[in-house]
Amino acid sequence: MAEAGTTAAGASPAPAPEAERAGAADWIAVAAGSLGALMATLDISITNSALPQIQGEIGATGTEGTWISTGYLMSEIVMIPLAAWLTRVFGLRNFLLGNAVLFIMFSMMCGWSHTLPVMIIGRIGQGFAGGAMIPTAQTIIRTRLPRSQLPVGMTMFGLIVLLGPLLGPVLGGWLAENINWSWCFFINLPVCLALITLLIVGLPSDRPQWSTFLKADWLGIVGLTIGLSSLTVVLEEGQRERWFESNLIVALSCLSLAGMVLIAISQVVAQKPIMRLSLMRNPRYASVIVIVSAVGAGLYGVSYLLPQFLSNVAGYNAEQSGAIMLVSGVPAFLMMPILPRLLGKFDFRILVITGLLLFALSCMLDISLTAQSVGHDFFWSQLIRGMAQILAMMPLNQASMAAVSREDSGDAAGLYNMARNLGGSIGLAIIGTVIDRRTTFHTAMIRESLTHNSVLGQDRLAASAANWFAQTGDMAYSRMRALGQIAAQIQQQATVITYSETFYLLGIALLACVPLAMLLKTPPPHGGNTPSAGH
């Protein structure tokens, strides 16, 4: 299997035939890749629950604090499609070892930081190092495991991608409350040391190919860097900055467009483009990309919507919200022993369509929310959602690799993971805009119904004012407090209606992907490499 590892690093010789069973070194390499991916996905959201403590320590306002998350996402999404090229340049083991060391350094920088600029620089560095670990984990699985054992490896990878963002806020909130927010970053040190050990043992040494660096598609690299980073910031910060009312958003949108133009030009002029968009000519692979973008929007959207509802409406703290979020992880653990067999026996189209339908159903179960809804009201929708995510994402992981040749697996993994993250960012941007505008709309509509002619409204106001007057003895103050209570109730009801509508929109978007699932390709249970259709 040493030759397979060299192929993953981008060596020119054709890959060796796959063995029937993977050896110990192969499974160690898979474990290393999976551990790196877990660390990278965990750090996407580990700061979310600890954000108030971090902002207080480094002196950042609420708006400035959002850059702690945006900086990580911005650099991660740039690195993901670059990982295949950098793997060919440095060699797989050298590249991952370097990233593990960088991840330690930038994590320590974040943990010791006392100012916002230092924290943002550290998070950007974490994003670059972490972004490299996600697609390379998928590449290791594809190149080190034989076809018969791919379902097991892809199950490991898929569970990590799903559970990392769920565990992040829970772990971050617990560390911030019980130890110190700095441990959200210091915890990466022992994990990275274990990762380095596994990489040294499991991956063969390989030589850098500096000629690949010199002959790189620099036009595409520049376009990718400025295009994707600017687009991520626009999507993450657009709603807070009121979109194109902000000069910053306008400037970044122009930069993003310029980057996309450079990427398009590089597809024509470059001998080997940094982003293999030609893979999208393969309809089977293209369908995977579209579906995973929609599922990514659903994953990130629910991960945002549910904690926001539990916090703003039900009054839950971060730890309580995290417990409800973890309910969706229960099916992942229960299905872990049988999932590889399901992937080996059932047509991927059946599994993905079932997953999409269940995911849509889970969203529809949450469209009848009320102001009295609490955590246990989401129990069944969360259980169904967890099963849906497993059934949809696991086959998509493997279908993305089955749709291309083994030599293209690195580039395909980069595009796949970039599409999932970009879909999540787009979904969050749309959801943020919908929530803001629909809440304003519903607030205005409810207020219009509460006129002086509304007997119910006047009775509620009089009763509330009487209660306050009994406590204070000041009628003017009591009426003001009563009006304030009614305004808060109006805002709460408008928020509840908006969240119900947003869950409905997510369900419709997922249902729209069902026809695309018919294009998916199920790999043969055993045998050689799958050719890349469309090449």
Q: What is the Cα–Cα distance from 129 to 103, expressed in whole angstroms?
A: 6
**Would you give the distance in Å from CA 454 to the centre of its chain?**
46
Higher pLDDT, 459 or 240: 240
Token output for 418: 């970039």
Report the alpha-carbon distance of residue 490 to residue 483 in Å, rounded: 11
Question: What count of other Cβ atoms lies within 10 Å of the Cβ of residue 56?
Answer: 11
Beta strands in 197-241 (DSSP E): none
Q: What is the pLDDT of residue 65?
A: 65
- Rounded CA separation 232/238 (Å): 10
Mean pLDDT of 322-329: 79
Classified as helix, coil or strand, 383 is helix
Model confidence band, residue 208 (pLDDT cutoffs 50, 70, 90):
confident
Q: Which residue pairs from 56-63 have beta carbons closer than 8 angstroms and sit at least 24 positions apart in sequence?
A: 57/114, 57/181, 58/113, 58/114, 58/115, 58/116, 58/118, 58/119, 59/115, 59/116, 60/116, 60/119, 63/240
Question: For position 535, what pLDDT does the model report?
Answer: 32
Task: Render pLDDT for 72-129 as a digit per residue (tens, 0 to 9).
Answer: 877 888 888 888 788 888 888 888 888 889 999 999 998 888 888 888 888 888 888 8
The number of angstroms, rounded, from the C-alpha of 74 to the middle of its chain's C-alpha atoms is: 12
The tens digit of pLDDT for each residue in 257-279 reads 998 888 888 888 877 787 777 88
Q: Which amino acid is at 344?
A: G
Task: Supply the DSSP symbol for 94.
Answer: H
Residue 392 has pLDDT above 60, yes or no: yes
Contact criterion met (CB below 8 Å) for 287 and 516: yes
pLDDT at position 7 over 60: no
Over residues 346-355, the pLDDT tens digits come to 778 888 888 8
Per-residue pLDDT, 361: 92
Query: Average of pLDDT values for 382-408?
Result: 79
pLDDT tens-place string over residues 213-230: 777 778 888 888 888 888
Q: What is the arithmetic mean of pLDDT over 131-150?
A: 77
Distance CA(396)–CA(289), nearest Å, equals: 9
pLDDT over 80 at 397, yes or no: no
* Res. 411: pLDDT tops 80: no
DSSP SS3 for 50: coil
**Token code pair at residue 422:** 């970009």
Residue 202 has pLDDT above 50, yes or no: yes
The answer to whether residues 332 and 159 touch, using CB atoms and an 8 Å cutoff, is yes
Cβ atoms 134, 40 nearer than 8 A: yes
Quickly tell me which residue has 């109006």 as its tokens: 490
Q: Give every CB contact of residue 211 below 8 A, 6+ residues apart in sequence.
A: none
Please give the structure tokens belonging to residue 221. Answer: 């690299």
Give the residue carrying structure tokens 């409406």.
Answer: 313
Q: Is the pLDDT of residue 19 over 60?
A: no
Residue with tokens 């499609």: 81
Q: How many CB atoms lie within 10 A of CB 474?
A: 12
Please state the three-class secondary structure of 138-197 as a single string.
HHHHHHHCCHHHHHHHHHHHHHHHHHHHHHHHHHHHHHHHHCCCCHHHHCHHHHHHHHHH
Q: Where are the alpha helices (DSSP H) in 243-347?
A: 247-269, 283-312, 318-326, 330-335, 339-345
Tell me the average pLDDT of the chain.
77
Cβ-proximal residues to 395 (8 Å cutoff; 6+ apart), any chain: 343, 348, 351, 352, 355, 520
Confidence of residue 455 (pLDDT cuts 50, 70, 90): low
pLDDT reading at 33 higher than 60? yes
- The type of residue at 68 is I
- What pLDDT is attached to residue 106? 92
- Is residue 277 within 8 Å of 217, Cβ to Cβ? no
> What pLDDT score does 479 carry?
67
CA distances from 112 to 105, 116, 240, 461 (A): 11, 11, 28, 52
Q: Where are the beta strands (DSSP E) in 99-226?
A: none
344 in Cβ contact with 394 (< 8 Å): no
Residue 152 has pLDDT above 60, yes or no: yes
User: Regarding predicted confidence, which is higher, 179 or 60?
Assistant: 179
Type of residue found at 468? W
Q: If you count them, how many residues does the chain have?
A: 535
Closest C-alpha among 187, 232, 191 to residue 79 = 232
pLDDT at 533 over 50: no
- Cβ density class 57-66: b for 16+ within 10 Å, e for less: bbebeeeebb
Spell out a b/e string for 90-102, using b for 16 or more CB atoms within 10 Å of the CB, else e.
bbbbbbbbebbeb
CA dist 405 and 256 (Å) reads 31
CA distance 522 to 311: 42
Mean pLDDT value of segment 193-217: 80
Q: Is the dihedral of CA 80, 300, 390, 351 positive or negative?
A: negative
**What are φ and ψ of residue 15, in 5° steps?**
-65, 150
